[in-house]
Amino acid sequence: MAMPVLKPERKKQLAAFQKTAGFKFKSLELLNLSFMHRSVSNETGCRVNNERLEFLGDSIIGAACATLLYRQYSDKTEGELAKIKSVAVSEEVFSSIARALQLDTMLLLGRGEELSGGRTKKAILADTLEALVGALYLDSGFKNAFAFISRCLIPEIDRVTENNYHRDYKSLLQELCQHHYRIYPQYRLVKRSGPDHDHMFWMEVSVNGAAYGPGTGHNKKSAEQEAARIAYQAITEPATPPV
């Protein structure tokens, strides 16, 4: 498979990324390929893109996550492990990890995908993480790929189990705000109703001047989680512009 020749500027960018990610590729071309979205090949006529690496990486991450869960939770049943895995190995989690690794800055996109906000799309970010793992496996073997996956997934698995197999949207939103806006989300109680034994809370969250929610719950914590979910999904899943 013929891969594009790397320019010096791109080589420097890839070298800097490796330092941040904590690994070193023998083949920079393979690493670069993991970031090449199909929109590039569609527009340029170049046949290579990261879809085959994505296919490979998906299976490797699944096997690594299953191994981590099997080792870490000897007291849990197959059904419980499957629930944790279904949340940990998901587009939402992968896209969050991808943003933390700044894969959005490394992506190679076609002009059309770039203009449509491809760097912020969760599906593209998640697919790129899978492609990166596939490339790392081919370049350095399963041991190194497993070590990288473990660093990325163990904190996510811990969050999932701590929140009864659900995503911790407050943590996700806080990470997103710090990464993009260098601020913390602000929560506000909108109203409270109901008798003492059955309160209902309405919470709103403000992010970068915009208010989201309200989220509702029988306590402030659950209402804040719901408000955070509304805000996180609104920010990471912008409405598709009209054609």
Active site residues: 58, 130
Six-digit token pair at 33?
A: 């390929």
Is residue 239 within 8 Å of residue 231, measured between CB atoms? Answer: no
Cβ count within 10 A of residue 78:
8
Is residue 97 within 8 Å of residue 69, measured between CB atoms? Answer: no
CA separation for the pair 86, 68 (Å, rounded): 14
CA separation for the pair 135, 53 (Å, rounded): 6
CA separation for the pair 87, 163 (Å, rounded): 11
Q: Where are the alpha helices (DSSP H) in the chain?
A: 8-21, 28-33, 38-44, 51-72, 78-88, 91-100, 103-106, 111-115, 122-140, 142-162, 169-180, 220-236
Q: How many CA atoms lie within 13 A of 35 on its CB side?
A: 21
